[in-house]
Every structure is written in C-alpha cells, then in structure tokens.
Amino acid sequence: MRALVTGAAGFIGSNLVPELLKLGHSVLVLDDFSNSRRENLPDSPAITIREGDVTVYENVVDAVRQADVVFHMAAQVGNVLSMERPQTDLITNVVGTINLLQACHEENLKQIVLSSSSAIFGETQYIPVDEAHPKDPMSPYGLSKYAAERYCLILGAEYRLRVACLRYFNVYGALQHFNPYGNVLPIFAEKVIADEPFTIYGDGEQTRDFIDVRDIVQANILAMQHEANGVYNIGTGVATTVNQLANIVIDASNKAVEIKYAPPRAGEVRDSVATIAKATKELSFQPSVTIDQGVRNYIAWFNSKH
C-alpha cells in the first residue's frame, strides 16, 4: 500500500513515516517545509518527496493520484499563534483539507485519516471529554480544525469516503523541537538547557492530557487498519497539571529551576482531559507510554540534540 502523508516532515508526520515503512508500506510525502524539517525524514528508497503546499489544488490532486490512503497532517498548529495569524489557519487548515477531499473524490481514493485537535472543544463543560462534548473553540486554530472536521464528515458522506478524524490531545515526544508558540514541554526543555526559569501562565493547576507521539502514531495506524470512519478522541485519559509537568521535567533534568507565574494567555483553556472509550472499542487503541516515562525519554532526546 502507498500512503500519502501531508506535512510528513513535521513533528507527528516524521514519527509516523518510519512506522509505515516498517509495516512494508511505501510513503509519498507532500510538504512545503515551511514549518518542518526535511532531515526528520528517514533516507529510504520507499519514500518519495514532493515539495508543495496543500493549499494549491494541483499539488494535492497529483499526490492523491499516486496513493491508496492519506494521512492528512499538514496544518498551521497552535492556539496562541493562530490569534496572531488567523488567515493562515483558515487557508492552510480549512482550504487545504477541502482540496484533499475533492482530490480524493476525483481520484476515487476511499480512505483519509485526519489529524484534528482537542482545541475544537474550547472550555470544557465536563471532564473527561467525550466525542459528543459541545464544540466551542476559543482560538482560530480550534475553529479551523473544527471546520476541517465538519468538511470531512459532510463531504466524506457525499463522496463516500471513509474519514477518521483523530482529535489529538496534548502531544509530545521525540522530534518535537522548541517553538515559542508550541507545546509547553519543549519550552520547558529549552529553558533547562539555557538555565532560565520556567514561566507558567496562570496558576499551573490547569490540567492537560499529555500523550506521547508513539501512541499517536499507533492511533493513526489503527485507524487505517480498521478502515475507521468518524471522530475519535486520542489521549490517555490521565489528567496532569502544568505544575506536575514542570516538576517531572525538573526531576528528569536533575537541575534546580525557578518557576515564575504570569497571567493566563488568550485562547488557552483551563482543563482538557479525554475519555478514549470509543477509540479503545472501535480501534483497539490503548496508550502505552506513561507521562513520567514519556517526559524522561523526551528530555533525554532533547538533550542529545543540544
């Protein structure tokens, strides 16, 4: 089978590609490399790289023409960044997804796995969050991901496509580099390297469902293997506060680090924890990496790159 992975040189895509190769699949990469790293991709004769933007329909349809299944990961990511660049979120995350759906219909490709986000829920009304939880995104990023999901479900039904929308919670792991707009873990790791204090926005008691990228990769593969169709929360079901995460990082780094607190940032929710019962039942998904294991592995990887 040949898998098209959009945004394959990004954090999650570059973890997925080696696993697809191990399973004997060939991989076609479509990436504009604007926010990703070509060196993240393994050197393999089973990989074909096409440099191109998913917002250009001709790029998408040409790639889809050569694929059997699509993992759609190309996106602008980040709640805070999206408050500054809402137009980019709209064009990349929504128009890019519509291009993919139309190309799959035109080329009669029947299976898509979409990378979605828990940001679609906004401030939670109850914990843990199930798939039916009300959707009230608090950022243009969350709104764009929700719009992409809805286009997938509406056009997927119209075009008779199987579309699995995987709603990732807070993903971390190897190949996730520092980005001031990105996940909190690489930011903490960068501060440790620089011997600088951590800044926590809010009181630090906000909860997140941190999931290792290795478990995210398995969720994608299971969605493909089960020919999944519908929406699925992909997390661990375990709540971790930002204060707890900071302490795990400090312990793993074996350094004394000062923690400073600042006012909460716009676009960020207070609590976010998943229930994964549907993914467990329908996809046989079961996360295997604990937060303590995963953070320690990540800090070791991050240090090896510095």
pLDDT at 182: 74
* Arithmetic mean of pLDDT over the chain: 94
pLDDT in tens, 254-287: 999 999 999 998 767 889 999 999 999 999 999 9
pLDDT at 84: 76
Give me the mean pLDDT over the 112-126 stretch: 95
pLDDT in tens, 277-286: 999 999 999 9
Give me the mean pLDDT over the 276-304 stretch: 97
Compare 80 and 247 and report the one with higher pLDDT: 247
pLDDT at 76: 83
pLDDT at 80: 66
| Cross-strand partners of 260 | 199
Provide the whole-model pTM: 0.95
Domain ranges of the chain: 2-171+210-235
What are the catalytic residues? 141
Compare 228 and 255 and report the one with higher pLDDT: 228
Bond from prior residue into 140 cis (ω within 30 degrees of 0) = no
The tokens describing 234, both together, are 């992909």
Give me the mean pLDDT over the 3-24 stretch: 97
pLDDT at 268: 79
pLDDT > 70 in the chain, percent: 99
The tokens describing 120, both together, are 């679609």
Is a pLDDT exceeding 80 seen at residue 111? yes
pLDDT at 286: 98
Is a pLDDT exceeding 80 seen at residue 202? yes
Instruction: Give the architecture-level CATH label for domain 2-171+210-235.
Output: 3-Layer(aba) Sandwich (3.40)
- The helix/strand count (H/E) of the chain reads as 11, 13
Model confidence at 56, in pLDDT bands (50, 70, 90)?
A: very high
Put residue 123 in one of left, alpha, beta given phi > 0 → left and psi -120 to 50 → alpha.
beta
pLDDT at 299: 96
Tell me how far apart the alpha carbons of residues 110 and 9 are, in angstroms, rounded to a whole number.
24
